[in-house]
Structure 1
Amino acid sequence: MLIESLPAAATPPPAPARPSSFAIEVPDALLARARAGERAPLEQIYRRFERPVFTLALRICGEREAAADVLQDTMLKVIARIGDFRGRGGSPFWGWLRQIAVNEALMHLRRGRRQAGELPDDGHEPADERALPPPAAADAALLQRALARLPATTRGVLWLYHAEGYTHEEIAALMQRTPSFSKSQLARGTRRLRALLQIEEHDHG
């Protein structure tokens, strides 16, 4: 969950990064069979990564139908390109697959640019990126409703930074923007998310 990746206070040293939901080990033997085109290993890979791909796509795109489309497009590309994966430099298979999923989700947002949106400058100073939202964030349902009310681009920055551990430089490259844009959206999104969670907690308390 997004909130679990944040430390319990605003000022302590950074906590160790929370493992990505994609960090699923795939045996070399299984990968070799998949690269050879065997159907059963490809189906196993699909089952292992179906949930993290769908969750990431849902958090970024905000709609289940869009997330299902991203899942399908991601897995089709994984199947088509799995022969290209060589794990150079010790890069894990899950990281390669996650990159495809993120690219597909962001491509979906770019195709629907009118719905993407981002939070404008709210005149506040940059917030502590590790600041913890209110206790209501521990409730997954409240968090999901609050996230859904954020602009898609802002929501994507929050999820990639907090849940998947991407840096601002990496997010900027993925979104074809600047690191400053990523930092500003994270700060504005964090403030807005805190406010929305307080509203959700009050309405459902």
Structure 2
Amino acid sequence: MCLFRLIEPVEGTVVIDNVDISKLGLHDLRQNLTILPQDPVLFSGSLRMNLDPLDRHSDAEVWNSLEHAHLEQFVNNLPTKLEHDCGEGGQNLSVGQRQLVCLARSLLRKTKILILDEATAAVDMETDDLIQKTIRTEFKGCTVLTIAHRLNTVMDYDRVLVLDQGTIKEFDTPETLLKDTKSLFYKMAEDANLV
């Protein structure tokens, strides 16, 4: 919420690339961030409109994003393809398909910062694997901030921040945290049968 300035800090600052984000206009800030939320957000309208609401991308770019989001075959099999009516809130699609549509939308935006807020919590493990694979390949040169409870999601990340009741308890590479058998991260990995 602070990154998108939905709430403004009472004290302290959020700095990205040496820029205090409170000095940026909301449009400029939010245009350079992408979020893949836990609950996929779709609107009444066509699949094409849900992928590219501002109509900034060519059909070829849209199809490319669908391919990388593992939806190309599904959409190709729809009678109206990109014009498929998603229904209110995406009711004509499964939860996994809705999340993959949101992933395809993120691929079209391709901002330097991607925020995953429990993005795979509501999907099955197969869809989770597809999303993680795409993020690791398609967002390779981006900063990815992930809020996750499934530890396998972050085991290969550069850094892990462990919070406990809103307080920072640990911050290091997953490898370093796993070497310390007394660390909270190690205990969580042990509970998840990952070590």
Question: Do they fold alike, i.e. is TM over 0.5?
Answer: no
Larger helix percent: 1
Higher relative contact order (CA 8 A, sep 6+): 1
Larger strand percent: 2
Normalising by structure 2, we get a TM-score of 0.29
Normalising by structure 1, we get a TM-score of 0.28
